[in-house]
Amino acid sequence: MEPRSGEPTSPPPAGRGAKAGLREALLRAAAAGRQCSAGSGTGGGPMNDWHREWPAPAKINLFLHVVGRRADGYHLLQTVFRFLDFGDILRCEPRSDGRILLATPLPGVPPATDLTVRAAEALRSVTGATTGVTLHVEKRLPMGGGLGGGSSDAATTLMALNHLWRTGLDSLQLQRTGLALGADVPVFIHGRAAFAEGVGEHFTDLVVPSAWYLVLVPGVAVPTQEIFRSAGLCRDTPPIAAADWRPGFGHNDLEAVACDLYPEVARHLEWLRQHGDARMSGSGACCFVGFARESAARSALASLPAGMHGFVAAGVDRHPLVLI
């Protein structure tokens, strides 16, 4: 989706047999979310919660249409967001000196520009919080992949620190704070599978049929701005009403541009299409196809040609932190 700020664009490799790994964190987060009223520790948050893992799941776009453009240049979109039980993991460590530090900086990305640090600074600016934090991010999502990795990390940072710092913002206030960081941040805070409109920040919740997804990770990073600036981008797909969306509807308007600019995206999509209605997620580069059964998705993963990489994950209709 169209960014309000740049994200790093060098993708780490995704293992051919990479496993979700996030599922246990999802379960722990759901359980912890039902118990978050106990005790108080450094910085005002429950002491045991400073030791927990905070999941930052991937998203996919089940379709993505560009339906217009605002006077300020931002594109008007319609899409359906769905979360996956695969993603990054964040940990937060309280600091008494008031500093916000990132213990796991990404190569080539100054920590001060990392979306997790910017999210923590934004929350502190909005609320006046004074407690410091050291952020630890275990990266699993590729950068420049269209899975929302940086946006998901930022959203999880906002939700985690809002809880740990006891700053008391509600979901809509957090979404407004997140929107200034990136157009995809609000949906992770909204926390439910949704039909999205506007620049991607107006939501209608959906019930999406259960599915398993094979997600392929081409070895390229696709800069979102490059796709949206392309003269070849379709910007006038007719809009629909959220109530008219059905599984399998539509396409991704960004896909043709990404395939022209990055042939590896086209090659991965072509291979996936032997298994069904394959689509690119967001502005790319990652592509996916859905399966009714996990076994079928894993069988397809096992048949990947040499040099192609991916993972299998289940669709998740609620963010694991939606209850905190």
In order along its 324 residues, the chain shows pLDDT tens digits of 554 433 433 333 444 344 444 555 554 554 444 444 333 344 444 557 999 999 999 999 999 999 999 999 899 999 999 999 999 999 999 999 999 999 999 998 999 999 999 999 999 999 999 999 999 999 999 988 999 999 999 999 999 999 999 999 999 999 999 999 999 999 999 999 999 999 989 999 999 999 999 999 999 999 999 999 999 999 999 999 999 999 999 999 999 999 999 999 999 999 999 999 999 999 999 999 999 999 999 999 999 999 999 999 999 999 999 988
Question: Looking at residue 56, what is its pLDDT?
Answer: 98
Instruction: Please tell me the predicted confidence (pLDDT) of residue 119.
Output: 98
> Is the bond leading into 180 cis (omega within 30 degrees of zero)?
no
Would you state the structure tokens that stand for residue 146, as one six-digit string? 């269209």
What's the confidence (pLDDT) of residue 313? Answer: 98
- Helices 115-127 and 171-179: crossing angle in degrees, nearest 10, is 130
- Write the DSSP string, 192-212: B-EEEEETTTEEEE------E
Q: Which domain holds residue 194?
A: 22-316
Query: How many Å apart are CA 158 and CA 117, to the nearest integer?
Result: 10
Give the active site residue among 49, 88, 153, 184.
184
The verdict on residue 323 lying in a domain is no
Q: What is the pLDDT of residue 23?
A: 56
Identify the residue whose tokens are 């009223």: 37
In a domain, 17, yes or no: no
The verdict on residue 260 lying in a domain is yes
d(CA 222, CA 194): 24
List pLDDT tens digits, range 80-115: 999 999 999 999 999 999 999 999 999 989 999 999
Strands of the chain (E only): list them: 54-69, 75-95, 100-102, 132-138, 194-198, 202-205, 212-216, 279-280, 287-291, 310-316
The reply to whether 272 falls in a domain is yes
pLDDT of residue 28: 53
In a domain, residue 15? The reply is no
d(CA 124, CA 31): 27
Residue 110 lies in a domain: yes
Question: What pTM was estimated for this model as a whole?
Answer: 0.88
Structural domains counted in the chain: 1
59: annotated active-site residue: yes
Query: Which residue out of 59, 88, 153, 253 is catalytically annotated?
Result: 59
Closest Cα partner for 316 from 139, 69, 57, 142?
A: 57
Tell me whether residue 3 is in a domain: no
10 Å Cβ neighbour count for 148? Answer: 30
Query: Does 16 map to a domain?
Result: no
How far apart are the two ends of the chain, measured CA to CA in Å?
A: 26
- Residue 211 is predicted with a pLDDT of 98
What is the Rg, in whole angstroms, of the alpha carbon atoms belonging to the chain?
A: 19
Which CATH number covers residue 232?
Answer: 3.30.230.10
Give the integer Cα–Cα distance in Å for 111 and 130. Answer: 19
